[in-house]
Structures are given as structure tokens and as C-alpha cells.
């Protein structure tokens, strides 16, 4: 791929992905303020940014692998996040005395092996291939299988803080 275009695609992939996350956060704030119209608009924009990011990713990678390849790639990323990425981020936040950032990075690191275990499970072919319901903690990102826990094992959030993924 041409050098500038590749750089620009990477830049837009990053920017659109960040905007998608930001619009989701804005939607949650609008929910808290009972502004349903704004919440839906932000959710629509978040989806739009995700679509745009996905198109860039497809151009950069040429293709998206099979689901088994993607599960394996996601597993490797979770392992790298736990082993290398988050330890560095935690250390740097600690060095700078940024306690809240250190706690957020630490909790995200603790979520990584949980997600790795779910990916490993999904990679094992099962006779019973019924879909599993997942519940995502809206505070720390912990993912629970089949039901929301009584209390998030990572951050202590209550079941009401878990979003069902169906």
C-alpha cells in the first residue's frame, strides 16, 4: 500500500475508534440526564464511527480472517496486554503518582486473563454450540458468562452495572 495512504488510514482508524468510544460515553451521560434524544444521537454517531473505523481496518488488512483465526488473534492480544502493555502503563502511572490511572490500568490488566479464558473456551469446538449470553461491567470492562455476578470480581460493581450482550 502507498505510504501516505497507509499512514492516513492508520490515523483515521485510531481517530474514528476514539470518537466511537467518546460518543458512547456522551450517550451514557445523556442517559443519566434523561435526554433520550441526545443519547440516541450519540449512540448512532458511535455506530457510524465504528463503521468508518472498520472500513479503514479492512483496507489496511486486506481481509478479516476466519472466526477461528480472529479468536486466536484476539487471544494473543489479551496475552500481550497482560504481559507487556499494562505492566508498563501501570509502572509509568505509578512513577508519575497518577493513582486513578494506575487503578484503571490495573483493573484493565486483571480483565485481560478473564477475556483470554473466554477466548480459549470459544476456540474449543463444542458439541453443544448454543450461544452464550455475556454481561459486560460498564465500570471496568469485566466480561461474565451466562449471568451478571452479584458483584464485579474486578471493581466491585453491582449487577445493575452489567450490560447484557445478546
Name the site residues for Zn ion (rule: CB under 5 A). 137, 139-140, 142, 152, 154-155, 157
Distances (CA, A) of 146 to 35, 55, 133, 136, 165: 31, 32, 5, 11, 10
Residue 78 CB, nearest distance to Zn ion (Å)?
16
Residue 163 CB, nearest distance to Zn ion (Å)?
11
Nearest to 45 by CA among 69, 27, 68: 27
Closer residue to Zn ion (CB): 65 or 156: 156
Residue 40 CB, nearest distance to Zn ion (Å)?
26
Contact call for residues 93 and 101 (beta carbons, < 8 A): yes
Closer residue to Zn ion (CB): 13 or 112: 112
Contact call for residues 146 and 133 (beta carbons, < 8 A): yes
Closer residue to Zn ion (CB): 119 or 140: 140
Amino acid at each position: 500500500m502507498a505510504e501516505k495512504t497507509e499512514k492516513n488510514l492508520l490515523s483515521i482508524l485510531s481517530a474514528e475508534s476514539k470518537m466511537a468510544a467518546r460518543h458512547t460515553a456522551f450517550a451514557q451521560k445523556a442517559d443519566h440526564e434523561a435526554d433520550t434524544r441526545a443519547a440516541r444521537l450519540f449512540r448512532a454517531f458511535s455506530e457510524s464511527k465504528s463503521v468508518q473505523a472498520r472500513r479503514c481496518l479492512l483496507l489496511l488488512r486486506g481481509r478479516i480472517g476466519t472466526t477461528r483465526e480472529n479468536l486466536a488473534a484476539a487471544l494473543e492480544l489479551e496475552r500481550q496486554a497482560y504481559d507487556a502493555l499494562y505492566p508498563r502503563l501501570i509502572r509509568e502511572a505509578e512513577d508519575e503518582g497518577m493513582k486513578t490511572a494506575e487503578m484503571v490500568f490495573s483493573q484493565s490488566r486483571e480483565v485481560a486473563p478473564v477475556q483470554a479464558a473466554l477466548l480459549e473456551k470459544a476456540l474449543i469446538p463444542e458439541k453443544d454450540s448454543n450461544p452464550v449470553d455475556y454481561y459486560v461491567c460498564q465500570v471496568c470492562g469485566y466480561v461474565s458468562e451466562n449471568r451478571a455476578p452479584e458483584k464485579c470480581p474486578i471493581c466491585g460493581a453491582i449487577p445493575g452495572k452489567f450490560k447484557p450482550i445478546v
